[in-house]
Amino acid sequence: MSSKKWFVVHTKPRNEKKVYEQILGKEIEAYLPTVETIRYWSDRKKKLQVPLFPGYVFVHGDESERVSAIRNTYGAIKYVMFQKRLAVISDEEISNIKISMNAPDRVRIEETRIMVGDLVEITYGIFKGLKGFITQIRGNYKMIVSIAELNTTLSVQLSNAEVKLLKRF
Alpha-carbon dihedral 149, 159, 143, 51, rounded to 10 degrees? -90
CA distance 137 to 55: 27
CATH number for the domain whose boundaries are 5-106: 3.30.70.940
pTM of the predicted model, to two decimals? 0.63
What local confidence, expressed as pLDDT, does residue 37 receive? Answer: 79
Q: Which residue has the higher pLDDT, 158 or 30?
A: 30
Locate the domains of the chain by residue range.
Answer: 5-106, 119-167
CA distance 133 to 146: 5
CATH number for the domain whose boundaries are 119-167: 2.30.30.30
Cβ(28)–Cβ(74) below 8 Å: no
Write out pLDDT tens, residues 79-90: 988 778 898 999
CA distance 25 to 79: 19
Helix (H, G, I), strand (E, B) or coil at 126: coil
CA distance 109 to 75: 23
| Lowest mean pLDDT, pick from 52-66, 97-111, 114-128 | 97-111
